[in-house]
A and B are shown apart, each in its own frame.
Chain A
Amino acid sequence: MSGGAEPTVEVSGLTKRFPVGRTGQVVNAVNGVSLSIRPGETLGMVGESGSGKSTIGRAMLRLTEPSAGRIVFGGRDITHLPAKSTRRLRRDMQIVFQDPWSALNPRMKIGSLIGEPLLLHEDMAASERRDRTEALARRVHLSPEFLARHPSDLSGGQLQRVCIARAIATNPRLIVLDEPTSSLDLSVRAGILELLAEIRTQTKAAMLFISHDLGTIRLISDRIVVLYLGRIVEEAPTADLFERPAHPYTQSLLSAHLPADPKVRIARHVLEGEVPSPIDMPSGCAFHTRCPVAQPDCRSVEPGQVAIGGSGHMASCLRIADGGNIIGSRGAA
């Protein structure tokens, strides 16, 4: 990771295992993830369902207890902070969920919903809170006339704006956005993305943008991490990742993306088989069971991160050393 300002959040060796009933087995949801986000930076996180995206986002905010690893927020180790003290942290770290319909209390008015974080975290008079609520509504481009209505009167895009207003109410330093646009229509999605970009420049908050939509993530992120089975397989500045994907999984993921342009020729690298079960993790490189360029070594050796170029582009693949990591190029690079 290149220099610059002190990171807002730094996660190292984050691991999360969920027990499976009373069988003694565990789901290895997150396996040793390290990442950091600087103020004003948006880190995109892509991966298929079950790759651990949401678990990482939640663990970062201590909404899920990590099994191992360290979370440093604003220079302070919050990994083992007692639950009681985490509440005060919430004003500095917020989350926006995928489904705005279920994220908001249907019995509360929009005004109370937006004002709720202020009520919980800020000591202010009711009149001041009302003013701030109105200002927040305007900041997310929501007409103040909605404040007296209930969530059922608003559309999905408007509700997501309410969720964003709630998230930015206390001027947090970290906002986790867990698929915030996935349930929205294309044109509405565009508006939300614009709003998020605007908020990022205004507040300099660090953002973790979780999505499985490559087009969206490319648009909004400064850097991107790619997850596979709870591990980061590649990390790079956005342009680098799309131009020179190094990990075979990233390459196949990008090749499966369908750009909305019939003229773009897509050279598809179809992956064989299905994602292995996180209960029974493959040995060595977790991707070797589906990797088109896997070698015998990949089954036993767990690859470390290899730096590619000087831009902070890293990938975890054994084949990078011999140049065999590029699908379809067969060997020499």
Chain B
Amino acid sequence: MTILSVRDLRTHFISRDIDNRVRVAAALNDVSFSVSAGEVLGLVGETGAGKSLTAQSICGLLRPPARVVGGEVVFDGASLLDMAPDDLNRLRGDAIAMVVQNPRTSLDPLTRIGEQLVRVHQAHRRVARPAARERALEMMAAVGIPDPTSRIDAWPHELSGGMAQRVLIAMALMNSPKLLIADEPTTGLDVTVQAQILDLLRDLVARFNMAAIVITHDLGIVAHYCERVAVMFAGGIVETGPVGAIFDNPSHPYTRNLIAATPERLAIGQASMLGGPPPDLYNLPGGCHHRDRCRYARDVCGEPPPDVELAENHRVRCHFAGDLPEPAAAATAKGAAA
């Protein structure tokens, strides 16, 4: 069952420059994807690709100069973009929960963690304090915080990074959300802690039949914890599909580069064409945005790339979808694909 569906979402940063001319940064360009119950979707891409902005646009957390200028976001049958702020407030923290990257700055340093959990619950449910506290203890146990009865009155600064992240996840779960958005939930945590948090997340998704979006730049997390992945570049999704298919058969040149840059596949000493500056969002090139960084680019790339369905659920936005030359032969295969 589809919980969230995003179609052609466009977010722009609209500001004025020093000469009072309007400047528009096209930060999200026609982002489309959906997530179903019990599924973990990985959203990957480099810094500035628009991963976090996508999450913020969905939840209505944008601040000026950022603004959603087009598209639609349907959550559980309701259109989020047309919703009144009060209605949206009722959803956020309740049916839609978010876990952000930095657990320490997301907790109120002057409030005991139990109290913070209780507040989230009471903001959305008419429950008495004892019941809310009971619920808080239950959720703390569910996220694997040892000895919840003594930890519930701890201050945020008394927690380690891993524990603080568990508290944030517990907070997200307080109202049994249908959709959980985790923005870099383990960046900055140690590998052993990261593994525990991700195991927990996956178990919770299965147990409560939630839909989850995990925003990350770590392909290891995608490979082992996500069912599907959407690869973002310059504010657009360039490729999306089941994790196995994307790793086996990356069909967008950017996805290929991204996968080739993982430490497992990188060989020191071989000349590579990885990376490059991201395109200027104020002045995006027409046609394919990846054109300037793409070694397969041809004249046809000046036209907007088609959205090609390669296999079931495996979609690629590229003129050469499905017939990119093999990486080894790429250097010599000039024009072969055109």
Contact = CB atoms under 8 A, between A and B. Distances in A.
A187 B247 contact: no
B259 to A, nearest CB: 7
Given A186-B217, A214-B191, A258 B224 contact: yes
Contact of A187 (B46, B146, B161, B223): B46
Nearest to A219: B263
Contacts of B219: 186, 260
B224 A262 contact: yes
Contact of B264 (A194, A197, A215, A266): A215
Interface string A244-276: 000000001100111111111010101101100
A190 B192 contact: no
A212 B264 contact: no
A186 B220 contact: no
A256 B192 contact: yes
A216 interface: yes
B218 to A, nearest CB: 7
Given A190-B272, A215-B263, A258-B220, A185 B46 contact: yes
Contact of A197 (B162, B194, B217, B268): B268
A212 B190 contact: yes
A193 B268 contact: yes
A249 B174 CA distance: 34
Interface string B10-50: 00000000000000000000000000000000000011000
Interface residues of A, number: 40
A19 interface: no
A218 B266 CA distance: 11
Contacts of B127: none
B77 interface: no
Number of contact residues on B: which range applies?
35 or more
Interface in A138-160: 155-157
B27 to A, nearest CB: 17
B268 A261 contact: no
A320 interface: no
A191 B275 contact: yes
A257 B220 contact: yes
Given A186-B217, A215-B263, A257-B220, A270 B196 contact: yes
A259 B220 CA distance: 5
B245 to A, nearest CB: 10
B264 A260 contact: yes
A185 B243 contact: no
Contact of A189 (B191, B194, B195, B261): B261
B262 A48 contact: no
Nearest to B192: A256
B194 A261 contact: no
B261 A186 contact: yes
A212 B191 contact: yes
A191 B274 contact: yes
B268 A194 contact: yes
A185 B268 contact: no
A261 B243 CA distance: 9
A186 B276 CA distance: 11
A191 B274 CA distance: 7
B221 interface: yes
A190 to B, nearest CB: 4
Contacts, number: 112
Contacts of B74: none
A5 B336 CA distance: 52
A203 interface: no
A49 B225 CA distance: 23
Contacts of A268: 195, 199
A26 interface: no
B224 A266 contact: yes
A188 interface: yes
Interface string B44-71: 0011000000000000000000000000
A64 B132 CA distance: 49
Contacts of A260: 218-220, 222-223, 247, 259, 262-265
Nearest to A198: B269
A65 to B, nearest CB: 27
Most chain B beta carbons < 10 A, residue from A187, A190, A271: A187
A197 B269 contact: yes
Contact of A215 (B196, B262, B268): B262
A219 B194 contact: no
B313 interface: no
B327 interface: no
B286 interface: no
Nearest to B186: A258
Nearest to A186: B261
A179 B189 CA distance: 14
B258 interface: yes
Contacts of A185: 46-47, 217, 275
Contacts of B193: 48
Nearest to A254: B191
Interface in B206-230: 217-225
Contacts of B122: none
A150 to B, nearest CB: 17
A261 B263 CA distance: 11
Nearest to A158: B277
18 contacts: A48-B193, A156-B47, A185-B47, A187-B257, A188-B46, A193-B266, A213-B263, A215-B220, A219-B263, A253-B191, A257-B191, A258-B221, A260-B222, A260-B263, A261-B223, A262-B243, A262-B244, A273-B146
- Nearest 3 CB-CB pairs, A to B? A215-B263, A258-B220, A187-B275
Interface of B: 46-47, 146, 160-163, 190-196, 199, 217-225, 243-244, 247, 257-259, 261-266, 268-269, 272, 274-277
Given A191-B275, A260-B265, 19 more contacts: A48-B193, A157-B275, A187-B46, A187-B257, A190-B272, A194-B272, A197-B269, A215-B262, A219-B266, A252-B192, A258-B221, A260-B259, A261-B223, A262-B247, A263-B247, A270-B196, A273-B146, A274-B160, A274-B163
